[in-house]
Amino acid sequence: MRTTSDLREVIERACASTGVPGMVIGILTPDGREVVTHGVASLETGCPVRRDTLFQIGSISKVYLATLAMRLVEEGKLTLDTPVASVLPELELADREAQQAITLWHLLTHTSGIEGDRFDDYGYGDDALARYVAGLASARQIHPPGQHWSYCNSGFSLAGRLIEVVTGRSFEAAMRELIFGPLGLERSCFLVQDVLGYPFAVGHRTDEHGHVGVVRDFALPRSVHPAGGVWATIDDLLDFAAFHLGLRPVAAPPISWDSITMMQAPQVAAANWADWYGLGWAIWSIGSVRVIGHGGSTNGYQAHLVLLPEERVAIASLTNHEQGSSAYLEVETWLLTERFGIRPPAPRLCTVSERELQRYAGTYTYPLARLTVRAVTGGLWLEAVQTRGLSREARERPLPPLFLRPIGERVFATGPVRAVPNRVDFIFDGDSEHPRWVRAFGRLAERDAIQEY
């Protein structure tokens, strides 16, 4: 069996090749836990990453919100079929039919169809989420509720406001009292003023000249907290995972085992990095092994939590660089193979005609990026330009191009074989000649109407 020393070498190599200044890896099994730290919390201060260093965990926060929502369901204050508008009568959406139809289930499964990446900053007051929800009146309705899976941050901010109204507390206070407290997550928090008294990592990114620098605007708008605002240490994240694996008995569990099981059960067919989505959780398979998990990406941080429910194993990864996913996926893949004997298989490629490939070519857009797809022999090239994001620094950034290899008529794989699948698919609207959307990075990007190729 590979040792901690071997793991440390893999972490050092992965961070060196991707420019990641600091990383923490945590491994949880029924026999205990192992934590390995590497690097620095800030390149400017040189402070080392410690076991108790706080990191932003980004969208892993969505699983915390789903856990809180299930507590309110158990208490009879909500149901998964609750229409959001019945609790928030002030809700106005661009599509009035969707406004009345969207339920809590749609929000927790990314199927509401609401424009998914609105990161508008409404200040740091307790009214931030209420003001955010009012701003959704101008959000596009991408598709009818329940028609497609498309990653939706906006839906989780809306769910956060739902929780505020039902509990009579701010979202952060509800999470602290109903989830953090019962699970003993003493260092987990949302507000920057709660972070500053403890060791914390700052985010980093690499500029166009290859220089790795500190991200200054790492504090998230409060309106984004339900979708991705949790700060946590590696041990708090492992404690949360342990509860969902049945490895952490608590005096007053916030939800029952039945609810935990429901959260981990497939609710809707997904795409890209997941085969299915549960309630908050992404679900996929590595061979015959069922995996659930979630990633998180904020300004200069990337994090990941992977659970093997049947094996009762968890791997948690925290990094302080925008390319942290490249590093943690290398480490996770090594761990699964060398520690647990789970080797991700290479996807089975298929042949797609050049004429069929040409149908996919075009320019596609969604609020965060502009995507260009080109047909070439044996596959497609996807070139993406990020047009905006969480950062307040408005700038366009080209992302590394992806070569898409066909694994189905409308599904393509990209990148090296890793612990998490990386796929792109195309969705047609009726019997049209060209797809209406390409689904990449979890989002539906719509094809520009008039194009010649």
Name the least confident of 55-64, 169-178, 200-209, 289-298. 200-209
Distance CA 105, CA 272 (A): 21
Active site (annotated) includes residue 150: no
Question: Higher pLDDT residue, 379 or 1?
Answer: 379
Distance CA 381, CA 363 (A): 12
Distance CA 361, CA 434 (A): 8
**Cα–Cα distances in Å, from 294 out to 62, 363, 383, 410?**
8, 29, 25, 25
Asked if residues 139 and 115 have their Cβ atoms less than 8 Å apart, the reply is yes
Q: Residue 453 has what pLDDT?
A: 46
Question: On the CB side of 414, how many CA atoms lie within 13 Å of its CA?
Answer: 20
Q: Residue 450 has what pLDDT?
A: 62
Average pLDDT over residues 193-210: 94
Tell me the pLDDT tens digit for each residue of 232-268. 999 999 999 999 999 999 999 999 999 999 999 999 9
Residue 54 pairs in a beta bridge with 200
Is the pLDDT assigned to residue 137 strictly greater than 60? yes
Asked if residues 368 and 386 have their Cβ atoms less than 8 Å apart, the reply is yes
Tell me the pLDDT tens digit for each residue of 404-451. 999 998 999 999 999 999 999 999 998 889 999 999 999 999 999 765
Question: Higher pLDDT residue, 311 or 388?
Answer: 311
Average pLDDT over residues 43-65: 98
Tell me the pLDDT tens digit for each residue of 258-275. 999 999 999 999 999 999
- Nearest Cα to Cα of residue 172 among 196, 151, 188: 188
Tell me the pLDDT tens digit for each residue of 207-225. 888 999 999 988 999 999 9
Catalytic residue, candidates 5, 17, 59, 223? 59
- What rounded mean pLDDT belongs to the chain? 96
**Token code pair at residue 381:** 């090239």
